[in-house]
């Protein structure tokens, strides 16, 4: 029997991603959560000035504050960031359009039309095709997500393969979002089948209900099953976001912070995106870890700069 041994080493050169706003129902929980395209762009710019190399972007409906996937709103955000005097790698979500809300435990079909938003691969990537960010996300599995109830985040193998192929054709680097151990089966298949150009960029998303718990042993189990030569980041949500800054680097990875995943700088103290980035830098520099800038990230990940 052959055993696979993995030696974990500290990552001494880390890049920081700031997840600026997300799509969750957080806009009414903190005045710092950006909602309009201008607010989202400005918050991303502030995070970049604070030291984030990558800005991970969702957009929201300004009227309701809820997550949206309107390409015009993405365009407004991207154009404002690109027109600024700040350099940052743009990472647009492609996770919207996979929402399924079933009709209940006794009558699951038809789905609840109010909450369901299922569209095809081309429509999910419409804003990516138009705006050509350097990175876009690809959620690598279907799961019962944090919202609970009858909500399912749907990403079938066929959908993921179609999206991965199109993202590659566009010259955009997919960030493969992993929420549980089984999602790495999909990741390794995409890499094996040549649908992901090296290096594979992977985001380990920890602590989200019904996904991988955020304990260190689970994190290390995920790290052990990453494709060889891949580059990864790891984060957790809520109060564990900032401890995960240190834990991700210790496990050999990079760091993600931001208001998508956590609203507080400390107990009862609402944070801004820039403040979370600044705190992450404080933690990393106290560990003698060097924080990378956007050009160094472009070189490491072989990114194609568009726009």
Q: What are the tokens at 50?
A: 């604070």
Q: Is the pLDDT of residue 264 over 60?
A: yes
pLDDT digits (tens, 9 = 90+) for 206-253: 999 999 999 999 999 999 999 999 999 999 999 999 999 999 999 999
For residue 32, the cross-strand partners are none
Residue 7 has pLDDT above 90, yes or no: no
Give Cα 144 to chain centroid, integer Å. Answer: 18
pLDDT tens-digit readout, 146-173: 767 899 999 999 999 999 999 999 999 9
Quote the tokens at residue 54: 């990558």
Instruction: Tell me the two tokens of residue 138.
Output: 């690809």
pLDDT band at 307 (very low <50, low <70, confident <90, very high): confident
Instruction: Please enumerate in sequence order all residues whose Cβ is within 8 A of that of 116, keeping only pairs 6 or more positions apart, or say none.
Output: 99, 100, 101
Say what percent of the chain tops pLDDT 70. Answer: 97
Locate 116 and state its tokens. Answer: 């369901």
Residue range 47-106, pLDDT digits in tens? 999 999 999 999 999 999 999 999 999 999 999 999 999 999 999 999 999 999 999 999
pLDDT of residue 4: 46
Q: What is the pLDDT of residue 149?
A: 85
Domains recognised in the chain with CATH numbers: 13-301 (3.20.20.70)
In the predicted model, what is the mean pLDDT of residues 268-273?
Answer: 97
Instruction: Provide the strand spans (E) within the chain.
Output: 13-14, 16-19, 54-57, 59-60, 67-68, 89-92, 98-101, 117-118, 135-139, 143-144, 151-153, 173-178, 201-206, 231-236, 254-257, 264-266, 269-270, 290-291
At 145 the pLDDT is 85
């Amino acid at each position: 029997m052959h055993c696979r041994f993995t030696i974990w080493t500290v990552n001494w050169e880390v890049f920081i991603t700031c997840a600026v706003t997300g799509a969750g129902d957080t806009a009414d929980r903190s005045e710092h959560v950006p909602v309009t395209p201008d607010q989202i762009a400005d918050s991303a710019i502030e995070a970049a000035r604070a030291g984030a190399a990558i800005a991970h972007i969702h957009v929201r409906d300004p009227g309701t504050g809820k997550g949206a996937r309107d390409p015009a709103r993405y365009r407004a955000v991207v154009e404002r960031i690109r027109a600024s005097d700040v350099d940052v790698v743009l990472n647009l979500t492609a996770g919207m359009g996979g929402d399924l809300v079933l009709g209940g435990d006794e009558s699951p079909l038809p789905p609840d039309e109010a909450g369901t938003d299922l569209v095809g691969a081309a429509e999910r990537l419409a804003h990516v095709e138009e705006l050509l960010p350097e990175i876009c996300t690809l959620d690598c599995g279907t799961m019962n997500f944090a919202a609970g109830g009858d909500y399912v985040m749907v990403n079938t193998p066929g959908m993921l393969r179609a999206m991965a192929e199109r993202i590659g054709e566009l010259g955009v680097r997919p960030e493969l979002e992993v929420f549980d151990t089984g999602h790495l089966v999909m990741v390794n298949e995409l890499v094996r089948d040549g649908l992901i150009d090296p290096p594979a960029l992977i985001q380990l998303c920890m602590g989200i209900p019904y996904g991988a718990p955020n304990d260190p042993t689970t994190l290390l189990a995920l790290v052990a099953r990453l494709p060889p030569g891949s580059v990864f980041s790891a984060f957790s949500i809520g109060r564990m976001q900032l401890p995960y800054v240190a834990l991700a680097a210790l496990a050999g990875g990079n760091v993600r912070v931001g208001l998508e995943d956590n609203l507080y700088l400390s107990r009862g103290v609402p944070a801004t995106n820039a403040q979370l980035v600044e705190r992450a830098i404080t933690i990393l520099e106290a560990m003698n870890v060097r924080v990378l800038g956007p050009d160094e990230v472009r070189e490491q990940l072989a990114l194609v700069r568009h726009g």
